[in-house]
Amino acid sequence: MKIDLTDTTASKINKALVKGRRAIGTPAVGMVLTLVIVTDEENAYDALRAANDASREHPSRTLVVIKRVSRSPRDRTKSRLDAEVRVGADAGTGETVVLRLYGEVSDHAQSVVLPLLLPDAPVVVWWSVDAPRDPAGDPLGALGQRRVTDSYAAEKPVHELRSRAESYEPGDTDLAWARITPWRSMLAAALDQIDCEVVSVEVAGEESNPSVELLAMWLADRLHVHVRRAVSAGPGLTQVRLETTGGPITLHRSDGAMATLALPGQPDRAVALKRRETSELLAEELRRLDPDDTYASALRFGVDRLGGIPSATQRAEVSARGPESLPVRQKAPDPDPAPSARTSEPALPASPAADSDTGRPTPAQMPPVKKADSP
């Protein structure tokens, strides 16, 4: 059932929700959370479809916030709220309200969303595109216990990871992190099967896929070894190779569906490692509403601490931001170090007879220079 409301208010939307539930014969509210989706018209359909699929596991009230761009200065001064209320089969296993905000009200979306939140239920905010630099500081993000972004949808995914690390607050998470959950589980299980010590690691994947960086940072943070980030043709993550004292451990996936796990002294085995849909990733994030300390630790490890040759994207960022933006591992040594770095001899202390302007010894105070013997 769908109910369209034009130039409406939050109070009228709540009444429409009650009317819709009574019309389909389910007046009781059995939803476990409120999911707020912040998106645009172009991506609204895909985001809403993923939320409806995830609602089969997590029945929820879904509020889709779409900020419409006004065409003229006169329209930008007028505030209007249009809503589309969906209940029953059109809303998965919960309720859906699509909110379209026009004019000045688009700058105060939190005032529209707040009266529509389920009472005494957790709130999850998901930005399917164009996530703010500081999700916890965003007015809509401040309403949620959990804030979900997707750095893969950003224009510069690696730069997005740096921003996420700088602004991280407990409750922040990333769908790029959820994408590597099967990889992390498989690698942890592989290390439990053999008694060895990891010496170094190489992680390979698409150049603009932030999940590759997150997996590399997680391995470096947990294993305390050098991790090299390599670029491959994809799709997504393609290979992780761990050099150990007992031999190499390799997890390789070339088709995005099946992977091959190779352990020292054991036959190779095929494992399922399928690339998952957005709905599955979202459902995984909705299973836990507490802070993800493992994600926070891996994120704060830092992209710039990974080894390997910089990718084309990183080189473009360096070109735009200047050489000082290069990671420490990529900086060239100073061609002309300071005098104190070239010699280990201590500097002569200033004496009362020293030059009063510079503090250096006068020529009379300088030690005599010994002449070398003639050949």
Q: What are phi and psi of 233, to 5 degrees?
A: -80, -10
Q: What is the pLDDT of residue 244?
A: 93
262: Cβ contacts below 8 Å, ≥ 6 apart: 248, 249, 250, 251, 252, 268
pTM flag (> 0.85): no
Euclidean distance between CA atoms 312 and 357, whole angstroms: 52
Q: 342: helix, coil or strand?
A: helix
What is the C-alpha separation between 97 and 9, in angstroms, rounded? 12
What pLDDT does 362 receive? 43
DSSP 169: -
Per-residue pLDDT of the chain (375 residues; tens, 9 = 90+): 889 999 999 999 999 988 888 887 765 567 889 999 999 999 999 999 999 999 888 889 999 999 987 666 666 668 899 999 998 777 767 889 999 999 888 889 999 999 999 988 999 999 999 899 999 999 999 999 999 999 998 888 989 999 999 999 999 999 999 999 999 999 999 999 888 899 999 999 998 899 999 999 999 999 999 999 999 887 989 999 999 999 999 999 988 889 999 999 899 999 999 999 999 999 999 998 889 999 999 999 999 888 764 545 445 554 555 544 444 333 333 434 433 333 333 443 343 334 434 444 444 444 444 433 433
Contact at 8 Å (CB) between 17 and 97?
A: yes
DSSP of 195-256, one letter per residue?
Answer: ---EEEEEEEE-TT-HHHHHHHHHHHHHH-SEEEEEE-S-SSEEEEEEEETT--EEEEESSS
Secondary structure element (H or E) that encloses residue 280, with its range: helix 278-287
Instruction: Note the pLDDT of residue 98.
Output: 95
Do residues 32 and 104 lie in contact, with contact meaning Cβ atoms separated by under 8 Å? no
H/E stretch holding 52 = helix 41-54
Provide, for the chain, the percentages of residues in helix, strand and coil under a 3-state DSSP scheme, each rounded to the nearest 5: 40, 20, 40
Residue 317 contacts residue 156 (beta carbons within 8 Å)? yes
Q: What is the DSSP secondary structure assignment for residue 183, as one 8-state letter? A: H
Half-sphere exposure of 40 (CA within 13 A, CB side): 7
Residue (of 149, 152, 27) closest to 95 by Cα position: 27
Q: What pLDDT sits at residue 74?
A: 65
Backbone torsions φ then ψ of 260, nearest 5 degrees: -115, 125
Strands (E), the chain: 2-5, 33-39, 60-67, 80-87, 95-102, 123-127, 146-149, 172-174, 198-205, 226-231, 237-244, 249-253, 258-262, 269-272
Listed in sequence order, the residues at least 6 apart from 193 whose beta carbon sits closer than 8 Å to its beta carbon are 263, 266
Q: Is 124 in a helix, a strand, or coil?
A: strand
Cα distances from 291 to residues 55, 172, 189, 282, 366, in angstroms, run 21, 7, 24, 16, 65
How much is the pLDDT for 24? 79
Asked whether 58 and 286 are in contact (CB, 8 A), the reply is yes
Q: Which two tokens stand for residue 224?
A: 């305390």
Q: Return the beta strands (E) in 68-175 as ranges.
A: 80-87, 95-102, 123-127, 146-149, 172-174
